Amino acid sequence: MSTLKIARRTSQIAVALGIPALYLLNAHEWDHIRGNFLSFSFFGYPLADPLAALQVMLGSLSLSWRMILGGGTVLAMAFVLGTVFCSWACPFGLLSELAGGRKRVAAKSSGWRVKWVVAGLFLIAAAVFGLPPLANQLSLPGWYSRVFQAWFNQREAADLGLILAPGALAVEVLTARRLWCRFVCPQSILLNLVHRLSPVGLGVRFAPSRCACAKGDEPCLRACTLGLEPRLAGKGLEWQCSTCGDCACACASRGKALTLGFGRKSGRAWRKKGLRD
């Protein structure tokens, strides 16, 4: 296992175990860090899921500077780092990866478009009908934190989270595909959008001239738990890639055609390898 993979897995496990530990501390009146994956307070500084913050403001038809600051901070981080939360911190992402989803999905899947449509409908519902933030109900990391929050602090019921997360995981085990992260979860939408605007943000880079793999012997494809084609970096991959770096680690001994880092994006160099959608 590569150093990057060890570091990433350590981070995921630390977050998964740290959440219940945090709420145990909160239950004993230590509240310098509190909240959940939808809205957090770190020593008084707000952090918020941007989609959740936008829904709240549209639903109330008012501006909240705390929401703007919290959501804006997360978006600023995504501008540089992309959706690293999904691959380095999300507890459901960890469970989904361990479930073993490796089945290939069409490289140019419409999955991210489906998520845009769903998120858009939720935002319209919040703005037009004043409904509560419905997209939050599809946030499995949000439910993971809220379940422990309810358990230790007895402040809210979290029965839906106890049904939704195991159910989604069971479907992924049966299908060998990470369906929830690719086609349902709306939390990464705004993060991906902002990251697409960054010309030098963290991402997968592909150098076709270095690729020496024969057809059918492509370790990068086997490494991607989302079932993506990593060599499409620069041609829409950023809408779905969680920048975990597994493909780059698999390619490290094959010429380093794929790398994870900062710098100019790959553009359309994929055509030189004859890759197709």
* Nearest-angstrom CA–CA distance, 86 and 142: 12
At 24-82, the pLDDT tens digits run 999 998 999 999 999 999 999 999 999 889 888 888 888 889 999 999 999 999 999 98
Task: Give the mean model confidence (pLDDT) for residues 99-106.
Answer: 60
| Domain range annotation of the chain | 3-101+111-193, 200-273
Task: Give the mean model confidence (pLDDT) for residues 219-238.
Answer: 80
Closest CA to 231 of 112, 1, 215, 175: 215
Phi, psi values for residue 244, rounded to 5°: -75, -30
Tell me if 139 sits within 8 A of 90, measured CB to CB.
Answer: no
213: left (phi over 0), alpha (psi -120 to 50) or beta: beta
In the chain, what is the straight-line distance between the N-terminal and C-terminal CA atoms, in Å?
30
Question: pTM for the full model?
Answer: 0.83
Tell me if 230 sits within 8 A of 237, measured CB to CB.
Answer: yes
* Nearest-angstrom CA–CA distance, 243 and 240: 9
SS3 237: helix
At 157-205, the pLDDT tens digits run 677 888 888 999 999 888 888 888 888 888 888 888 888 888 888 988 8
DSSP 71-125: HHHHHHHHHHH-SHHHHHT-HHHHHHHHTT------TT-SHHHHHHHHHHHHHHH
Check whether 110 has a pLDDT greater than 90.
no
pLDDT band at residue 2, thresholds of 50, 70 and 90? confident
pLDDT band at residue 18, thresholds of 50, 70 and 90? very high
pLDDT (0 to 100) of residue 58 = 85
pLDDT band at residue 136, thresholds of 50, 70 and 90? confident
